[in-house]
Chain A
Amino acid sequence: MSSIRPPVEPVALPASRAAAGAATVLAVEDLSVAFRGAEGLAPAVEGLSFTVQRGECLGIVGESGAGKTQAFLAALGLLASPAHVTGRVRLDGQELLGLPERALDRIRGARVGLVFQDPMASLTPHLRIGDQLAEPLRRHLGMGAREARGRALQLLERVRLADAARRMRQYPHELSGGMRQRVMIAIALACDPQLLILDEPTSALDVTLQAQILNLLAEFKRERGVALITHDFGVVAGLADQVAVMRAGRLIEQGSTAEVLKAPREPYTRQLLGRDDSRQAASPPGSGAGLGALLPVTLPASRPRVSECSPAHPCPTPRLALSGVGVSFPVARGWRRQALRALDGIDLTLGAGEALGVVGESGCGKSTLTRAALYLIRPAAGEVLWMGRSPADLPGGELRRLRRELQIVFQDPLASLDPHLTVQRLVAEPLEIHRPQLDASGRLEEVCGMLERVGLDRSLLTRRPHELSGGQCQRVGIARAMILKPRVLVCDEPLSALDAPTRAQVLALLAELRREQGTSLLFVSHDLSSVQRLCDRVLVLYLGRMAELAPAQALFAAPHHPYTRELLAAIAVADPDIQPARLAQVRLGEPPSPLELPQGCAFRTRCPQASSLCAERAPAWEQTAEDRWAACHHLRGRADDMLLK
């Protein structure tokens, strides 16, 4: 490969760092990892070299499967299968490769701290938090039980886990995802390691929690070396000083974060950054809200707005309308049964050809909303209307026939496809149900046409889902949903299981299908940037309640509801100039349990503007500007908007 540059020599480092007397914590030289497979040795990492300095964070970026994690597992002797590892890995001058298992045991956890992606999987379910934290202290530092407990409590307070003394006695499942990740960080820091390895530390978390965890990690960077493995340049921008980009087991680009993010040399890096040469964002970074400038925006074609209709010109019947929809699930808490109100008082309309985005943290009822809209869950309150007809009043056969007009694309592309069916049968199934008069050859023709539309090759017809990549599976899911040319397409987090480049492709495909067929989109996502690119209007949900509804551009430019503001502030932007400052401003704490909602406004426990009025009664859903609604007692944005007019 001609594109590979020689790894940056320590001599070539910026002078400022050399002057600070930076000490090398980890030096990896020419590391290669290969697995012995059926066809001989399969290389996973080839000739990898990099260094991590004290007080500095090295971000290692690449798509999944690039060998990022494998390299570190190999360096620490953690690869389970008999892999073939060569090269040199020195921790503070000590060679790690070839060390006996016992010596490595003394290093891992003591001199090297590890934080993994999934905090639930890396905590032992049956051990209390305090005991898990005390374990490395007693083992590596030889502390007694009492001393270890005291130190554990200090550590939990240091990672700012709220109510630390009580958390010590709790089990992992009693904590939220963000709290668990704080515990993992506390464990990793327990023995004051020289090197902290973070493997996708925030990928499983919401944007608000991600910002908090990154904020915390930035504090611990000073006294030690940090290696941050991630696929997200936004995370890198806020935390890393140096960046190394990996592709297919090789290092393809390396340099300071500012260099690589602002002026990437490799086309692949540009692609990862979402800055294809074809659609380079022209506006200078740091301008405006900082967001709109960085994200290439596909402007939707103009169409009649719902707000434009008057008594004289009545609105066309919306394709999908929800009024006062509420959904609750029974939850067992110990012996008692309690209703969890997943959705409460949802009003929305989806016009012809419109794209409505629904955003919010996980657990806010986004997925439940899609199921209720499609009448896959029967709402406990309110009414759902499809093209003006209520599915609740339709007989079973009629209901099933009408379902062809509303299709869904799911979050997990593999799970939403029946594993034993071929691509051909999967895509043809809706035709078999709704157009039984079509013969086999006609059906095949339709299927091939649709596959072509979503950019899949005809040769995939006989494949089964597990033989496809994630992106291909999601295309099959979209083909299946679109083959009947439905009037409404509901997308439930269709991008979250996909890699960054695949994400951009699927997003483009959705926009294209919408433009061509005039399909209305209900697009649910926690990824605000993709919502901004695709949608006309955005609904912000907070714990099953509507917080704000506004045209997308207006919402991202000037959010009215304080929750929307905090949500937007938490987005990680791939710009090293502004991202650290953005991180430092994150305020949102943990969301309350949906079973113990605060009285009055649900958001008041996390709201910077909360007053006594917020505790007294819930705010009304009111119009704040043309086409904009919000539920808040302190709508500061409303005044701003008036001024703009």
Chain B
Amino acid sequence: MRGSTLAYAVSMRSRRPGRRAALFAAALIVLLTLWAIVGPAASPYSPNGLDWHHLSAAPSLTDGHWLGTDPLGRDLYVRTLYGLRLSLLIGVLATGVSVLIGLAWGMVAGFAGGRVEAWMMRVVDILYSLPYLFIVLILATLFGRDSITLLLVAIAAVGWLTLARVVRAKTLSLKRREFVEAARAAGLTPAGIMMRHILPNLAGTVAVYATLMVPQMITSESFLSFLGLGVQEPRASLGSLVSEGAHEMLAAPWMLLVPASVLVALLLSFNLLGDALRDVLDPAAR
């Protein structure tokens, strides 16, 4: 009677409260992205324009500074949206780079096995054990702090390591499955087996990890920017805005609250979506 039990389980799953939250999260991510692209046009102000009449102004509907201004009179609504743009861009790009490297590295290591695998995974272990912040500091002093490329490289350099380990483990278990043996017996080349049978079966796991990695990357970027190592003035990211707002926390709380709440909403959405994707694509991982 497995059929009816299974049907029951499936019907229970569709009723799980997480599903609605996931749809909500996905909608919020799309909305925030669209808003970051078209939102600034709605305001009369530019992100770097100084308004000498409204320094550290509180949010107000009358003067056009809907979410207030910073101590230099720059409009917080526009700056937050520009920050959101940059944070999203860095988060998604860094994730993309990490996934590409991590997927290729982990899959080749797992599939090749033996000495190749041992060497490739030792490289991952070594990179893991390097003090991350220390390296970023050195890179920043060498190449100058005002480089988004540097920021991307620094974040992605750490991000792919975890993915490589996850992908390798999954590849190892896939490699022992009978359908891979069947493909070998059918005369498929190792590259063919990887592309046709391993990669598509990794897709679910990788999609879940990638979704959960975006908020991690954004957090890393925000953290580096908060420390002053990331995005520099006059550019803004959510992290640098939170950092600036933190200085005026008591006098002008909106300077912290506005970028911080956008950041929290963004991170929460990605995490909710990732968890929901895991339930759907990778039920065994729960």
Contacts and interface: CB of A to CB of B under 8 A. Distances in A.
B11 interface: yes
B115 to A, nearest CB: 16
Interface of A: 35-39, 42, 44, 65, 67, 69-70, 81, 249, 371, 374, 376, 396, 400-404, 406-408, 410-412, 415-421, 429-430, 433-434, 477, 480
13 contacts: A36-B8, A37-B8, A42-B3, A44-B1, A69-B1, A376-B181, A376-B185, A403-B185, A404-B187, A415-B177, A418-B201, A419-B179, A420-B200
Contact of B185 (A35, A374, A418, A421): A374
Contacts of B20: none
Contact of B178 (A39, A42, A412): A412
Interface string B90-130: 00000000000000000000000000000000000000000
A433 to B, nearest CB: 5
Given A37-B4, A401-B187, A418 B10 contact: no
A477 B181 CA distance: 13
A415 B178 contact: yes
B179 to A, nearest CB: 4
A416 to B, nearest CB: 4
Contacts of B186: 403-404, 407, 429-430, 433, 480
B125 to A, nearest CB: 22
B197 interface: yes
Nearest to A80: B5
Contacts of B184: 376
B2 interface: yes
A502 to B, nearest CB: 16
A196 B186 CA distance: 48
A406 B177 CA distance: 20
Contacts of B179: 415-419
Contacts of B200: 418, 420-421
B7 interface: yes
A186 to B, nearest CB: 29
A411 B197 CA distance: 19
Nearest to A490: B185
Interface in B163-190: 177-179, 181-189
Nearest to B9: A81
8 closest cross-chain pairs (CB), A and B: A403-B187, A416-B178, A400-B187, A38-B11, A42-B4, A44-B1, A37-B7, A35-B4
A407 B201 contact: no
Contacts of A39: 7
B4 A434 contact: no
Contacts of A430: 186-187
Identify the interface centre among B11, B179, B189, B201: most chain A CB within 10 Å of its CB.
B179
B188 A407 contact: no
B192 interface: yes
B5 A35 contact: yes
A128 to B, nearest CB: 30
Contacts of A403: 185-187
Nearest to B199: A420
Given A65-B2, A433-B188, 19 more contacts: A35-B8, A37-B4, A38-B11, A44-B1, A70-B1, A371-B181, A396-B189, A400-B188, A403-B187, A408-B181, A415-B177, A416-B181, A420-B203, A421-B200, A429-B186, A429-B188, A430-B186, A477-B182, A480-B186
| Interface secondary structure of B, over-half rule | helix
Nearest to A45: B1
Interface in B1-53: 1-5, 7-8, 10-11
A538 B201 CA distance: 39
Contacts of A42: 3-4, 7-8
Contacts of A410: 178, 181-182
Contacts of B2: 65
Interface of B: 1-5, 7-8, 10-11, 177-179, 181-189, 192, 196-197, 200-201, 203
A403 B182 CA distance: 11
A65 B182 contact: no
Contacts of B4: 35, 37, 42, 44
A408 B185 contact: yes
Nearest to B14: A38
A573 B10 CA distance: 41
A375 B73 CA distance: 75
B182 A35 contact: no
A418 B10 CA distance: 22
Contacts of B192: 433
Nearest to A35: B4
Contact of A81 (B3, B8, B187, B196): B8
Contacts of B189: 396, 400
A420 B201 contact: yes
A38 B201 contact: no
Nearest to A401: B187
A412 B4 CA distance: 23
Nearest to A37: B7
A38 B7 contact: yes
A65 B7 CA distance: 14
Contacts of A407: 185-186
Contacts of A400: 187-189
Contacts of A81: 5, 8
Given A37-B4, A81-B5, A433 B178 contact: no
Contact of A419 (B10, B185, B201): B201
B16 to A, nearest CB: 14
B7 A416 contact: no
A51 to B, nearest CB: 23
Given A35-B4, A415-B177, A480 B187 contact: no
A249 B4 CA distance: 12
A100 B10 CA distance: 29
A415 B178 CA distance: 6
B1 A480 contact: no
Which residue among A67, A411, A420, A434 has the maximum number of chain B CB atoms within 10 Å of its CB?
A: A420
Contacts of A406: 185
Contacts of A38: 7-8, 10-11
Contacts of A65: 1-3
Nearest to B204: A420
Contacts of A411: 178
B31 to A, nearest CB: 32
Contacts of A429: 183, 186, 188, 196
A417 B35 CA distance: 45
A81 B9 CA distance: 9
Contacts of A415: 177-179
B7 A67 contact: no
A294 to B, nearest CB: 31
Nearest to B188: A433
B11 to A, nearest CB: 4
Contacts of B3: 42, 65
Contacts of B181: 371, 376, 408, 410, 416
A37 B9 CA distance: 8
Contacts of A37: 4, 7-8, 11
Contact of B1 (A36, A67, A376): A67
Nearest to B181: A376
A590 to B, nearest CB: 28
Contacts of A421: 200
A412 B184 CA distance: 17
B6 to A, nearest CB: 9
Contacts of A401: 187
Nearest to B177: A415
Contacts of A36: 8
B1 A35 contact: yes
A41 to B, nearest CB: 9
B60 to A, nearest CB: 53
Contacts of B8: 35-38, 42, 81
B205 to A, nearest CB: 12
A434 B187 contact: yes
Contacts of A371: 181
A65 B179 CA distance: 26
A100 B2 CA distance: 26
